[in-house]
Amino acid sequence: WNERIGSGTMLLHGFVLAQEALLLAALRGVIAEAPFRRMQTPGGRAMSVATTSCGRLGWMTDRRGYRYVTADPLRDQAPWPTMPPLLATLAEQAAALAGFPAFRPDSCLINRYVPGAKMSLHQDKDEADFSQPIVSVSLGLPAVFQFGGLARSDKAQRYLLTHGDVVVWGGPDRLRFHGVLPVKPGEHPRMGAQRINLTFRVAG
């Protein structure tokens, strides 16, 4: 079912489950080409989340800062894997349902959370156009998502995101602070002991 959790944000429960097998096969192909790696924050700490990307632009962070790049620094500056058309189509369909029919992502950031991994409260501000939404797909272990406000100190609402859920974050919610609480130990029947989150973005 579809739930509006903010004026510009829709939570589409189980939206990708009908295409689960094809989605997971496409995802495995991307990860085989561009493996997960734990990047360094500008402050020099390793993120607890491991990341990779597909699409024309991939997100990265190192001592020099956060940015989108066309070449993978881990694979001798090779281009990121192509965004599988099935993944792009699912993201575009979700965005259209939420009121963004023109959404055409050029980047998909793939985050892997093993138990204990988390993402601290932050805003997504590395993209060129904040009028474009971000579409997120949650797979594997459940996680508690913190949906804050436009100021870091605003009280956050909490939502449990489970396997197959899609969230479209847009409009006035695009710059809200958000984070993910440490993922609890567990085993998902098809994904094992991990949570994977895909975020589709117009980065460039």
Q: How far is CA 8 from CA 16, 168, 196, in A?
A: 20, 8, 24
- Across the chain, where does the E strand assignment appear? 2-6, 9-12, 50-54, 58-62, 65-69, 71-72, 78-79, 107-113, 119-122, 134-140, 143-147, 157-161, 166-169, 178-180, 195-201
From its phi and psi, is residue 87 left (phi > 0), alpha (psi between -120 and 50) or beta?
alpha
Under rule CB under 6 A, residue 109 binds ligand MD5: yes
**Closest C-alpha to 12, from 124, 188, 135:** 135
CB closer to Fe ion out of 93 and 111: 111
Choose the one of Fe ion, ligand MD5, none that binds residue 112, judging by a C-beta under 5 to 8 angstroms depending on kind: none
Residue that is written with structure tokens 């997100």 in the block? 59
Judged by beta carbon, residue 185 or residue 204, the one nearer Fe ion is 204
Q: How many residues bind ligand MD5 (CB under 6 A)?
A: 15
Tokens of 32: 């085989």
- Fill in the per-residue mask, 134 to 173: x = in contact with ligand MD5 (CB under 6 A), - = not in contact: x-x----------x---------------------x---x
Nearer residue to Fe ion within complex by CB, 22 or 47? 47
Count of residues interacting with Fe ion (CB under 5 A): 1
Token readout for 182 is 């440490």
* Residues from 117 through 136 that contact Fe ion (CB under 5 A): 124
Contacts of 40 (CB under 8 A, 6+ apart): 46, 47, 61, 62, 63
With CB under 5 to 8 Å by kind, the binding choice for 147 among ligand MD5, Fe ion, none is ligand MD5
Nearer to ligand MD5 among residue 106 and residue 173 (C-beta): 173
- If contact means CB under 5 to 8 A according to the sort of partner, which of Fe ion, ligand MD5, none does residue 165 touch? none
The answer to whether residues 97 and 2 touch, using CB atoms and an 8 Å cutoff, is yes
Should residue 93 be labelled a site residue for ligand MD5 when binding is judged by CB under 6 A?
A: no
Binding site for ligand MD5 (CB under 6 A): 109, 111, 119, 124, 134, 136, 147, 169, 173-174, 176, 178, 180, 197, 199
Binding site for Fe ion (CB under 5 A): 124
